[in-house]
Structure 1
Amino acid sequence: MISSPRVLRDQGYHYQYQELGDLEVRLVRVFPERKTRIKCEIIHASLENCPEYIAISYAWGDAGNTRKIQLEGFLVSISVSLYGALDALRQKDRSILVWVDALCIDQSNKNERTQQIQLMTSIYKTADSMAIWLGPEADDSDMATDLLRAVADHASSPEKVSRLLSSQVGKRNLAGVVSLFERDYWKRLWVVQEIFNASSITVYCGSTKLPWSVYQKASATFGRHRADLDNYFPGGQMIDRRLTIAPTQFSYTQVLLYQGPGSLPNLKSYIELTQGSLLEVLRACRRKLASDPKDKLFGVLGILPEETRMEFRADYSLSVKDVYTEVVDYLLKTTDRVDVICDAIHFPVHTGSANLPSYVPDWSHIPQTAAMGDKYNFTASRDKKANCKFLDERLNKLELSAIYLDKISLHGMAVGTLCTIGDYLMAFLHWRALLLGNLENEPEEISLMVQDDFCRTLSLGQVPLRWGEKHQWMTVCYYVFASLLRERLPHMSLDRKLAGYADAKLGLGIDNRRQFLQKHFGDQMMGRCFCRTGNGWFGMGSGFMLPGDFVVVPLGCSTPVLLRQEGTRGEYRFVGDVYIHGYMHGRAVDELRDGKREVLKYILR
């Protein structure tokens, strides 16, 4: 049933919404193109018996940059971005029905927002089609879409794609694709759910439109041709100076592979995990942006299995703290694991407004690092189930059981998250100096063994098989760092042993050495620092660590973690996860079984 809304007029140009029924939504009827100004009306419809409509997916854009439409006799201001989307969809000879959040949901009504968010999955699944609006034509976007179509058409022919990308026209148009993939639309969190639930999608940009499948196929094809892209555009530079990427941003190739359609996670594998899918989806979508911090949860509910969705209600009257703490509570109870606390990343220090307990991840914060256990498949507690409970109704204090390992004795300088090669090189020198200070009187064989462990620690134990033999990884590690130090800082004198490694002949050119360092050490060092425990174990952990921090393996956790004692009541602050060389795959559990270690309880706040 479709019902016409009752419009409540007031002073000025302000449209009054009529209350919605339980399964009702509003749809916007966009009238045929007669004049420049867009003219439309709002109708109500039941999702159980809905007319055909198009769901619009777009980036809101600058709230202060608006244009007016005529809505049932009222002049209503909408964002320029939405105006462009409506104008692109408007037909010359017939009306169309669209659903678009800014007009179809009373954004000032929290109760209505809550009710409509619950229907979001159905709204996009029920729509006859979905229209993605990327924005107006800009930065050669018309030529960019031509290239996307050509790449998709030749996706099954690697030779043709290589020729296309290497041609002068291809290189020029790729600059436009990079700009297209960097548009704000791809950064939105809600996009993930909208695309996931839509059945038929068309992508509009300016006056051009393409099926979504073309964008998907072209993005996947870029991934298969990474070597070509790296070869044609060494160092990530673009051929258009206006579009050259700054050192702190993604490289040319990275944009083509990991932004645009490549920034959307493959969620089908996650939702098959049932209970664990919530954490995986939150992690996969963490870099996406939402204007309301609570939407970092509410915006992914439509992706999750129904049994998970039923446990959460998109209630905007809740505080951010309540929403994020409920996520931890749910995951602890349903997965028997505490891995979620490792996503509470505190370095670099960021100031949130939610006043969260230290063990609750702030999903509105976008860190440059990620939990180690998720990325590297560590199994520090093996199959031990979590043993934890909240000690108060507000979920401010969490008691967990963990195997005590040691305390941090010393640590080196922390590597930041806006890193250059120079940052990694300086950290390496500082950390190695800490190491060598304790090796002066050791036999050569012991010294080499310790230095090999040091190099394995720098890479978080991720040593390629080809370099896995005795001392091979140390040789490669020292060669890469020493040779880059010599080239970057030619006036710095290296010690005799390091200088010897710089002269090794391992066949890696300077670009290859930089890439090797970034892949095998840079990503692992970012946001972390080298440390040593009281018993002499090497580690890599949060740059937020301090001497005296406790190193423990929580039951039901993939990695050891750092805890800092606070106050005199035996309570602790969660500092971050930590790599402890030799303890990432169950050694603590083995020692517990053999009576060499014990499980203690820690109260986190």
Structure 2
Amino acid sequence: MSNNQLCDTSGDMAGLEPYKYDRLSNPEEIRCLRLEPGQGDEPLSCTLKAYRLDEDPQYEAISYVWGTSNRSHEIQCDGLPLFITPNLRDALQQCRLSDRSRLLWADSICIDQDNDGEKSHQVFLMSKIYSQAMRVLICFGSDQTGRRAQEAYSLLYDVNEIFERFLTDSRGIYDSFPWPDNDDPLLSDSRWSSLLTLQEHPWFRRGWVVQEASLAKDALLLFGSVEVHWLWVLRLTAWVMSRTRTIIRVIAHGSFTLHTGKYASRNREEAVTLAMDQDDHDLLMILDNGRHLDVTDDRDRIYAFLGLPEAAEIRDSLSINYGQTVHQVYQDFACCYLDKTDDLTLLHYVQHTEASISADFESPSWIPQWYHKIFSWSIHDPLKQRIESLHHTELPPYSIMENSILRVKGLSMDSITFVSPQLSESTTVSDITTIWRAVLRHKNGPIYDRFPPVHAFWEAMMCSRVVGGLSFGQLQAHINAYIRHLDPSALFLGGEDAKVWDATEDDLNSPESLLGQLISWIIHNRRIAVTQRGYYCLVPGLACEGDTCAVISGTNGPFILRNTGRHHYYKVVGETFVVSRQEVDIELGERPDSVGDGQDWLDYDLEEEDIYLC
């Protein structure tokens, strides 16, 4: 939408031509606005001027929620009317000083939004813009309640004081940060509700802010009349996640995982005291977490994260081009990523709807569509060793062929003969018990003759995961409680002397059950399946009887593929977790592995073949 298509101006600027952007003349140039002093609802006034990043201009960058794209508000820019969105108007009012001007950068006004070429290049510069800013101002707007901001600030202040006192004498010893007592008043403090108000702000669900906040030299969060150091927010979040699981749901959504990962990377000495390992999010994991964040343009599900250090390997080889369609951007990213990394774990991030796996969809099935938010949890563990080709010592060969068909090496290991109804986060223990009984009645008996099959069934839903906040013994006791509901006669983890959580079915279904919550996330929009050989699997909701279970060299685990009718040509339905039949000692508390760990395919006379993913 161009400025001259917007509402009429009024007052002193009535009848004036709208502001028009001058072209930027140098690849290192950005525009900054000098916001003139004012207060309250006084009209906004600024000048726009070009600066070269390589000359180190002294500006502050604004991070805010775009909101509506309707440019219905007016700012006087170099004496002419320029139309801006309501949210930018609010952010500028919040940043404006009463006694002096302020040099700022804000994307929607400093970039000509009607010029796709300029927008593409400025997005490419975004990492420099935020990392070179003196400070990033995170604008939350006014506090409508009049008190939530102050209460949240005081809680953040108190937790930060705990950090400061501890870090004064800390020597960076791993896991040395003190745990609060169970009766610590801070854990039941009424101010947590105000922090929840802060956490529910839409800024935390915006895709671009991960880059904007994590690249900042310094950042301030502006909420009402309060200014909070962003580090305080990160410290409190890290403290809750590592030390106070009873209030974990205060910070339950995925953007916090990304933000705290960056905190762990940039503040190693204090993060290790909370037993926080250095950020292990690679670029694909970041994009996967980003599915649940908001962007106004689905192309930004790639572009919004290219400024992060994790994207350094491909950033210079991937053009930012808003003239391309979403699917062209995703395909270019996938091809560039494979070319630079040879990392076929990209395939684990494929999610499909009926439409996107259909024959007439405009993108090959092996290319992740990053706007799909079908699953709450990934099955594969990116830290696991990749599956090696049977006949190649190096990373498995692959090639991208004509029509973007991906040729890989792999084994067709099995086929699906039974699928359960689709599961969801609201699936109950009773529902799971019904499925277990159906699995037992299935014509293909289980292949599990070295340990009780019910443990394989349960592990298909746990996917070898552990639960943060539960010790090894507590986790065993929780698993045994679920096993007891499925099969009271089964051997428990830990044998005859095993601990079993004395839980009712309501307890197991409760959101307060940490294991139950994890299971609900993992199984959401998936199904339990049984294969021709008798393996138990967790498969995508689109999987059906007759689909192939295949192992692809260079990945972390097996996949469900769908035959196209042409020999060796398949659609990728998605990743699957298949429980290994290899022996484990349940009495010693050992849990079944995945077939990836057990390498079960070596037990069968299978020939490695070329698999064509289309």
Q: CA deviation at 1:530?
A: 1.5
Q: Which position in structure 2 is the counterpart of 1:599?
A: 608
Contact 2:480 2:499 in 1 (8 A): no
Equivalent residue letter for 1:374: D
Q: Which position in structure 2 is the counterpart of 1:508?
A: 502
**Residues 541 and 378 of structure 1: CA distance in aligned 2, closer, same or farther (over 3 Å):** farther
Q: CA deviation at 1:341?
A: 1.4
Moved more, 427-436 or 374-383: 374-383
Q: CA deviation at 1:201?
A: 1.0
**Residues 519 and 385 of structure 1: CA distance in aligned 2, closer, same or farther (over 3 Å):** farther
Q: Which position in structure 2 is the counterpart of 1:539?
A: 537
Does 2:114 match 1:102? no
Q: CA deviation at 1:183?
A: 0.8
Does 2:597 match 1:585? yes
Equivalent residue letter for 1:196: S
Structure 2 portions without partners, runs of 5+: 1-12, 167-177, 267-276, 493-497, 581-594
Q: Which position in structure 2 is the counterpart of 1:524?
A: 522
Q: CA deviation at 1:466?
A: 5.0
Does 2:459 match 1:450? no
- Among 251, 254, 274, which residue is 1:256 paired with? 251
Does 2:252 match 1:200? no
**Residues 461 and 163 of structure 1: CA distance in aligned 2, closer, same or farther (over 3 Å):** closer
For residue 521 of structure 2, give the secondary structure of its aligned residue in structure 1. helix
Contact 1:461 1:581 in 2 (8 A): no
Q: CA deviation at 1:262?
A: 5.0
For residue 120 of structure 2, give the secondary structure of its aligned residue in structure 1. helix
Which residues in structure 2 correspond to 1:124-139 (within 5 Å)? 124-139=130-145
Q: Which position in structure 1 is the counterpart of 2:495?
A: none
Q: Which position in structure 2 is the counterpart of 1:247?
A: none
Distance 1:274 1:151 in 2: 22
Moved more, 407-416 or 345-354: 345-354
Contact 2:32 2:110 in 1 (8 A): yes
Q: Which position in structure 2 is the counterpart of 1:27?
A: 32
Distance 1:354 1:26 in 2: 40
**Residues 373 and 437 of structure 1: CA distance in aligned 2, closer, same or farther (over 3 Å):** closer
Equivalent residue letter for 1:15: Y
Distance 2:363 2:211 in 1: 26
Q: Which position in structure 2 is the counterpart of 1:6?
A: none
Deviations 1:426-476 (A, max 9, x none): 143124223245599x9xx9697333333333333458965999xx99854
Q: Which position in structure 1 is the counterpart of 2:270?
A: none
Q: Which position in structure 1 is the counterpart of 2:92?
A: 86
Q: CA deviation at 1:314?
A: 1.2
Equivalent residue letter for 1:217: R
Q: CA deviation at 1:362?
A: 0.8
Contact 1:343 1:370 in 2 (8 A): no
Q: CA deviation at 1:68?
A: 2.2
Q: CA deviation at 1:315?
A: 1.6
Contact 2:426 2:520 in 1 (8 A): no
Which residues in structure 2 correspond to 1:199-218 (within 5 Å)? 199-218=217-236
Q: CA deviation at 1:563?
A: 0.9
For residue 68 of structure 1, give the secondary structure of its aligned residue in structure 2. strand
Q: CA deviation at 1:258?
A: 4.3
Deviations 1:540-573 (A, max 9, x none): 2112111111111011111111111124465311
- Among 166, 190, 195, which residue is 2:208 paired with? 190
**Residues 403 and 206 of structure 1: CA distance in aligned 2, closer, same or farther (over 3 Å):** same
Q: Which position in structure 1 is the counterpart of 2:411?
A: 403
Does 2:156 match 1:148? yes
Equivalent residue letter for 1:332: L
**Residues 354 and 434 of structure 1: CA distance in aligned 2, closer, same or farther (over 3 Å):** closer
- Among 373, 389, 409, which residue is 2:399 paired with? 389
Contact 2:355 2:361 in 1 (8 A): no
For residue 372 of structure 1, give the secondary structure of its aligned residue in structure 2. coil
For residue 530 of structure 1, give the secondary structure of its aligned residue in structure 2. strand
For residue 55 of structure 2, give the secondary structure of its aligned residue in structure 1. coil
Contact 1:380 1:559 in 2 (8 A): yes
Q: CA deviation at 1:263?
A: 5.1
Distance 1:458 1:349 in 2: 26
Distance 1:311 1:209 in 2: 39
Q: Which position in structure 2 is the counterpart of 1:244?
A: none
Contact 1:301 1:309 in 2 (8 A): yes
For residue 141 of structure 1, give the secondary structure of its aligned residue in structure 2. helix
Contact 1:337 1:556 in 2 (8 A): yes
Distance 1:93 1:161 in 2: 49
Contact 1:550 1:564 in 2 (8 A): yes
**Residues 568 and 227 of structure 1: CA distance in aligned 2, closer, same or farther (over 3 Å):** closer
Distance 1:151 1:265 in 2: 16
**Residues 259 and 136 of structure 1: CA distance in aligned 2, closer, same or farther (over 3 Å):** farther
Q: CA deviation at 1:207?
A: 1.3
Q: CA deviation at 1:164?
A: 4.4
Q: Which position in structure 2 is the counterpart of 1:326?
A: 332
Does 2:308 match 1:298? no
Equivalent residue letter for 1:194: E
Q: CA deviation at 1:268?
A: 8.1
**Residues 307 and 374 of structure 1: CA distance in aligned 2, closer, same or farther (over 3 Å):** same
Contact 2:543 2:560 in 1 (8 A): yes
Moved more, 304-313 or 512-521: 512-521
Contact 1:222 1:257 in 2 (8 A): no
Equivalent residue letter for 1:180: L
Q: CA deviation at 1:506?
A: 2.8
Deviations 1:319-372 (A, max 9, x none): 222221122223333333321112111268779998321111111222333432
Which residues in structure 2 correspond to 1:424-435 (within 5 Å)? 424-435=429-440
Equivalent residue letter for 1:388: Y
Q: CA deviation at 1:44?
A: 1.2
Moved more, 507-516 or 47-56: 507-516
Distance 2:568 2:264 in 1: 41
Q: Which position in structure 1 is the counterpart of 2:421?
A: 413
Q: CA deviation at 1:581?
A: 1.7
Q: CA deviation at 1:131?
A: 0.6
How many residue pairs get aligned? The number is 542
For residue 282 of structure 1, give the secondary structure of its aligned residue in structure 2. helix
Distance 2:289 2:416 in 1: 31
Equivalent residue letter for 1:18: D
- Among 559, 565, 582, which residue is 1:561 paired with? 559
Q: Which position in structure 2 is the counterpart of 1:243?
A: none
Distance 2:263 2:186 in 1: 31
**Residues 269 and 364 of structure 1: CA distance in aligned 2, closer, same or farther (over 3 Å):** farther
Does 2:62 match 1:56? yes
Distance 1:85 1:522 in 2: 38
Contact 1:384 1:556 in 2 (8 A): no
Percent of aligned pairs sharing the same letter: 22
Q: CA deviation at 1:399?
A: 1.9
Distance 1:354 1:291 in 2: 23
Q: CA deviation at 1:275?
A: 14
Equivalent residue letter for 1:192: V
Distance 1:84 1:369 in 2: 34
Calculate the aligned-residue CA RMSD, in Å: 3.8
Moved more, 12-21 or 574-583: 12-21
- Among 41, 44, 54, which residue is 1:38 paired with? 44
Q: TM-score, normalised by structure 2?
A: 0.78
Deviations 1:192-235 (A, max 9, x none): 11112211111101111111122122222222442443xxxxxx
**Residues 320 and 265 of structure 1: CA distance in aligned 2, closer, same or farther (over 3 Å):** farther
Contact 1:203 1:211 in 2 (8 A): yes
For residue 452 of structure 2, give the secondary structure of its aligned residue in structure 1. helix
Q: CA deviation at 1:154?
A: 2.6
Distance 1:572 1:203 in 2: 49
Does 2:186 match 1:165? yes
Q: CA deviation at 1:507?
A: 3.7
Distance 2:49 2:397 in 1: 53
Distance 1:200 1:150 in 2: 20
Equivalent residue letter for 2:159: V
Deviations 1:38-87 (A, max 9, x none): 11111111112243111111111233484322222223332222222211
Q: CA deviation at 1:181?
A: 0.6
Contact 1:389 1:399 in 2 (8 A): yes
For residue 151 of structure 2, give the secondary structure of its aligned residue in structure 1. helix
Q: CA deviation at 1:105?
A: 0.1
**Residues 571 and 336 of structure 1: CA distance in aligned 2, closer, same or farther (over 3 Å):** same
Q: Which position in structure 2 is the counterpart of 1:459?
A: 462
Contact 1:186 1:263 in 2 (8 A): no
Does 2:288 match 1:283? yes
